[in-house]
Structures are given as structure tokens and as C-alpha cells.
Chains A and B, each alone.
Chain A
């Protein structure tokens, strides 16, 4: 059997506040298979976002093993980690995090500027991706000219345009109305089903969590199941 895509062994994350050590994750072990769709659930302060940040390579563990696609990312330098994120991770945030001064097209282009693609190749990729999220018509609009749901779709396009291995979603429906939330969740499901994207989603919305294949619960920095 193939090794799991994400292999977490005895992962510990401790923050220091003043001279006090505050444990956020205590001894987490978890495997995530390629093509899985996981929802990380738990009350606030349970450490679910921290776990997501560690897997996404924007934070570093205090101890333990964090291997993704065979690579121990806790050993990478700051710069190597940036390059690793650019090619392996797609981010979807609660508040979309689009650049307000850039159009939908330019926002989706951002991660492609870190690749070696030519301008024409980028255009092709962007147009195809914006077509997938149904925003071809809105390509030249700025974020403030789009609804919340549309902005999140631009963000999804930005997350998948580089064809990353893993999509990390932090409360992707947290700021959306019911209809937009359903649209976004359907889109994530489709990305998982049809394109085989591995998705790791933090949410405390039970309805959103149902979209996932598997739920993982955290409490006080420990896994309850999984």
C-alpha cells in the first residue's frame, strides 16, 4: 500500500506567551490519504486551525514528524517552505483574502507569477479555471464589485489554478449566506470527486462538515477520533 499523503506522528505545538508555555497541540498522530476530504472540527481553541496551518506549511511544529508526500516539511527553511507551498498547497480562507486592488483575473494570476509559465500559458490556465467556477463574465471585476459567494469562487480559482496537491480551507463557508455556502461546498466536493484533490477543511458548521468524506474532531489539542 502507498504511504499516506499526509503523515503526522506525535506532533506537538506549543506557543510561548511571555515566559509561559501554552500547549496548543499535544501529541497528534493522523494519516490523510491521497484524495481524501477531511473536515477538522472542534470548539474554538481546540487547535484545529493550528493543525491546518502546520499541514499548510505556514507554521512550524514544536516537535514530532510532519511528512507530506514523503517530505518532512518541518525541516525546510523559510524560503524552501515558501516554494513548497506555492507548488503543493491551495489556500481558501474564511474572508476570501483577495487583493482588493487586483481584478478577479489578476488575483487568480498571483500564484502563477511564481511559476515559469508564459503570459499566454497563464492566460489559458486562468480563463479555464475561472470558467470552472463560473466567473468567466466577471474576470475584469474588482473584489468589491463581487458578492461574497463570487469572491469565494475567485479564491477557489486562485487556490486550484496551480494544480496543487492539497487544498486547505479555513472556514470556507463561515462568511457566506446559505445558498452561496452550498455552492462553495458543492464545488469543493466536485474538486475532490472529479479531480481527486485532497481537501482539508476546518469548520464548525455541521452542514459544511457533511460535505467531507471524513470528520476529525479535536478538543484541547487532542484528537477525539480518526
Chain B
């Protein structure tokens, strides 16, 4: 700070001398910082999960105008046309890399609850696993094509009593056996159950797929593929990069978290800033004679302003560091909630990123600045003669 001539030790030790007040004020700010950071971490966790779900090279095709796979329908003819597009990558054996998928919601009862929760059950083609390299089996084995076998995501396995290997689930007038658990790297697939697409469609008496997922031969052929799909009148489909699709899926939940969090943070932070202002006002009042003395010695008004603002910024910084410290423990927590865009369960964790650390500390300092500004201004504006009389 340019006007900063008053030594930092003076500022720091004044905070240290009033340990209890400093501690209480900083705690109030730490609490707000904690809430603020928690919201950002939750949102970051959600985005990470959704973005991690999609891969940039994959393109998801759903019926034009539908926003989710649940609402969408892709006919077998359309799927065949897509399979033949030149932009679709080929596997080593020369097969097109496409997974024709069907999605239904089934109701399962969560451990410790008696109401059912919607769980996404996805029918996938044999190529489905290959198109999603982040998905790997961690227990049991993959379902056999043509059988009534299912594999469940890690979050489903953990949260639902009935989703353990060897157990059977009854839906669509059939018994389905769970034969494996897969880990999808904390993506949304972790909250899904997968089975053979043809078996699931038969059981649910469906004629159409819900979506088709293809891998591009190369990432830059996306535009030409979109153009080809648009040009073919039989393909009344929207093509979207898989990553973008899942990001869009989380938009409403993300907005909900952010708005709710921001409202909470704003209300809390007003309280914390008032707390900081009260602390700083009393600090100014207690040191009126000191301020007068400093001014008499030749320190200018901006120096006094800077000294008290720094003190308040320090308070904010301490609150910020403490709040962030406690927020780091949130990373151990995984939230499982309803994504109301897809009406299905979604599990994600609080995620701390360097960006959140920086934003949170800036937020804490801003609280300190706003709370300390008026008291500091008062300190710098006192008349020397009046303040010396307070001795």
C-alpha cells in the first residue's frame, strides 16, 4: 500500500493483543467463508462429475428438441443410418464404434429409507463400454450380452441395499441378476445401472432406442457430422458432443445450488461484515488517543486509513484461511441427490480447486475491506486535538 507508513507489527500486534475479539470476529467470517467455499465446491464437484461423464470425441444423438435421453427416441432405421456415416470411427475389427442405447427409470429403495428413488437404467450395446474408457469393472464381471444380467455403478452399489452382487432386482416382469460393479471415475455413470440394450428393450416392450452414442474418427469431424445429420431429412436428430450434453444436463441443478448458495452467503456475509465493523469501530474508539498521537507525529490521514483497513483485511484473511481449512474436510463427503433435469439420482463430491481457494480468499478480504472501511475512515478523519483529548 502506497500510504502505508505505519509498521505492520503495529497492526498485527493490535489484533494479537485483542485475541478474543479478533478470534470471535474472524470466526464469524470463517463461518461465512466456509458456506461460500462449500457452495463453490459443490458446484465444482457437480460440474466435474458431469463433464467427466462425457468425452469430447463422442457424439450423442437424440431426437430433435428433446433435452434428455429419457424424452428422446431414435428408431432402428435412424440408428442404422448413423452407423453408416463416414465420420464414425471404426474399431480394430472394422466395426463402427456406436452404442445404441435405451434408457428407463426404475425405482429402487435407498438404504435406510422407505421411499423409492429413481435410478437410471441404461441398455448399452457391446461397444458401450469401449466408448467410455473411464468406466471399468471393479468387482464381479460385465453382463453377458443376451442375458438378464446387470452391472451397477459404484454409487448405486454403495447407497442401495438391493444393489449388491448376486442379488436380483425385479422390474418389467423379469428377474435381473447383478453380476458386477463398475467405477466410472466419479462421473454420472456411477449413479446408473447398465444392462444389455436388446434385453431391456424387449422387457419394456420398446421399439425405439433412446439415443445413440458414436465415437468420431477424429474430433475435428464433428462439424461435418452435424451438417450430414442436418442434411438427411430422415434423421430428425440433434447431435451434440457428449461432454457438452452432460454439462447442459447439470445446468439447472448447478444454477439452483449457486443461487441458493449465493443467497445464503450474501445474508451471512452481511452479518459478518457488521461484526467486523463493530470490532473495528471499537478498535478505533479504544485507540483514539493513539491515532491522535500518530497524526501529531506527522503520519498523514491516508496512513491511518491504510493501517486500520489493513487490520480489517487481516481479520478477513484469517477468517478466510480458517474457513477454507475447515472446507477442505468437505471433500470427503459425497452428495447423492436428484438431478431434476433427468429425474434421476446423481452422486457428486465437494471439490476444491485452486480457483476456489483464490476466489474464497478474495471474498474474505472483500468482507474485511467493506466491514473495516467506515471505521477506518472515521479513524483517519478525527481531528488531532479532539483525539488527543481522549487520553
Cβ of B294 under 8 Å from chain A: yes
The B-contacting residues of A in range 38-60, CB under 8 angstroms, are 53, 56, 58-59
The A-contacting residues of B in range 336-365, CB under 8 angstroms, are none
The answer to whether B10 and A99 have CB atoms under 8 Å apart is: yes
The answer to whether A58 and B9 have CB atoms under 8 Å apart is: no
The answer to whether B385 and A82 have CB atoms under 8 Å apart is: no
- Which A residues are in CB contact (< 8 Å) with B292? 97
- Which B residues are in CB contact (< 8 Å) with A82? 295, 298-301
Scan A56-89; emit 1 where CB is below 8 A from any B CB, else 0: 1011000000000000000000110011011101
The answer to whether A97 and B391 have CB atoms under 8 Å apart is: yes
> Closest residue to A91 on the B side, CB-wise?
B296
> Closest residue to A86 on the B side, CB-wise?
B298
- Which B residues are in CB contact (< 8 Å) with A56? 296
The answer to whether B298 and A111 have CB atoms under 8 Å apart is: yes
> Closest residue to B300 on the A side, CB-wise?
A82
Please give the number of chain B residues whose Cβ is less than 8 angstroms from any Cβ of chain A in the complex: 25
Once bound together, how far apart are the Cα atoms of A85 and B298, in whole Å?
5
Scan B288-304; emit 1 where CB is below 8 A from any A CB, else 0: 01101111111111000
Q: Given contacts A59-B385, A97-B293, A101-B10, is CB(A114)–CB(B391) below 8 Å?
A: no
Once bound together, how far apart are the Cα atoms of A93 and B391, in whole Å?
10
Cβ of B91 under 8 Å from chain A: no
Q: Given contacts A58-B384, A94-B391, A114-B5, is CB(A101)–CB(B17) below 8 Å?
A: yes
> Shortest CB–CB separation between residue A216 and chain B, in angstroms?
20
Q: Given contacts A94-B391, A99-B290, is CB(A114)–CB(B9) below 8 Å?
A: no
Once bound together, how far apart are the Cα atoms of A102 and B16, in whole Å?
12
- Which A residues are in CB contact (< 8 Å) with B296? 56, 58, 85, 89, 91
Once bound together, how far apart are the Cα atoms of A87 and B297, in whole Å?
9
Partner of A58, one of B5, B301, B385, B391: B385
Cβ of B71 under 8 Å from chain A: no
- Which B residues are in CB contact (< 8 Å) with A53? 385
Once bound together, how far apart are the Cα atoms of A83 and B298, in whole Å?
6
The answer to whether B289 and A97 have CB atoms under 8 Å apart is: yes
Cβ of B19 under 8 Å from chain A: no
The A-contacting residues of B in range 292-341, CB under 8 angstroms, are 292-301
Partner of A78, one of B7, B293, B294, B301: B301
Cβ of B13 under 8 Å from chain A: yes
> Closest residue to B294 on the A side, CB-wise?
A110
Chain A interface (Cβ < 8 Å from any Cβ of B): 53, 56, 58-59, 78-79, 82-83, 85-87, 89, 91, 93-95, 97, 99-102, 106, 109-111, 113-114, 158
Known: A82-B295, A83-B298, A113-B5. 11 other contacts (CB 8 A): A56-B296, A58-B385, A78-B300, A78-B301, A82-B299, A91-B297, A106-B9, A110-B294, A110-B297, A111-B297, A111-B298
Q: 13 A-B pairs, CB-CB below 8 angstroms?
A: A58-B296, A82-B299, A83-B298, A85-B296, A86-B297, A87-B298, A97-B290, A97-B293, A99-B290, A101-B13, A102-B13, A111-B298, A114-B299
